[in-house]
A and B are shown apart, each in its own frame.
Chain A
């Protein structure tokens, strides 16, 4: 059984090496997708001895994941772990994610809403995640609590039937499409404290554009997929 970890990273020089070291305790084949970082992310990842694929331009997490999935499919991975390079996702949950996927789930999401760690996030973000999870649950007949979580495990065959991700705001779109295509989606509890190192991708612009992008992706999935 081949397991691969895909780590999308943008300006994560501070954390990427520790993330790789921790992930390698559970997964031998780690691939870092450096999404056009302007710091030493690529160098630090290469020093850790893993495969690094560097985008010349920063295009967003979705674009990095798309490249990661492509490599995973080329290498014929049976299960793919997706974990952020900012250390917000603790690699100790990887065995649990894999176990859940091996029990028959096509996608397993690490949820911060199944434990108290979500309380560390500000009200706007918490409400947004709850709202979008509700949208996914209603439109996709699901019961997920954290649709925006990027800490996931995929069955290799499941990724093949999903459309390529958009460059940004990929999570709801992917989850909704997977649900509507009948893939089995599970969740496990994952503590996800607010990041205390590096810079968060969330800013005023992100918050302002998020609802619009969500509406766009819901229409896209419902009408065109």
Chain B
């Protein structure tokens, strides 16, 4: 019999898949968002409907329990997302600085003319 956590995971998986479907429906070309939502949704659906997959993963990764495996994978995924956010934030910051300088110099040149 399915436990409450399995049902909650299943519903959350369905919700994530719905989110990815809504992205397609709205024709938003956000491929990364779509991949994150759909991969998370499919993973949750698989892990909650076929619990043996979790056990198998735990065995491969040499982690004692299925729950710990899911947490470890989630932390790894979050780490990747965080790193991606950090790099894009750093690049945007650099671009803002360059634009800031360019605007200042151009404005000065215009004022001088």
Contacts and interface: CB of A to CB of B under 8 A. Distances in A.
Given A52-B108, A54-B107, A167-B97, 15 more contacts: A33-B104, A36-B100, A54-B104, A55-B101, A55-B103, A56-B100, A56-B103, A56-B104, A57-B96, A63-B97, A66-B101, A67-B104, A67-B105, A71-B105, A167-B93
A59 to B, nearest CB: 5
A59 B105 contact: no
Contact of A70 (B93, B97, B100, B105): B105
Interface of B: 93, 96-97, 100-101, 103-105, 107-108
How many chain A residues sit at the interface, stated as a range, is 10 to 19
Contacts of B100: 36, 55-57, 59, 63
Task: In the A-B complex, list the 9 residue pairs whose CB atoms are closest, starting with the nearest.
Answer: A53-B108, A55-B104, A53-B104, A67-B101, A57-B100, A55-B100, A59-B97, A56-B103, A59-B100
Of the candidates B93, B103, B108, the one having the most CB atoms from chain A within 10 angstroms of its own CB is: B108
Interface in A48-68: 51-57, 59, 63, 66-67
B88 to A, nearest CB: 17
Interface of A: 33, 36, 51-57, 59, 63, 66-67, 70-71, 167
14 contacts: A33-B104, A36-B100, A52-B108, A53-B104, A53-B108, A54-B108, A55-B101, A55-B104, A56-B104, A57-B96, A59-B96, A63-B100, A67-B105, A70-B101
B101 to A, nearest CB: 5
A70 B107 CA distance: 15
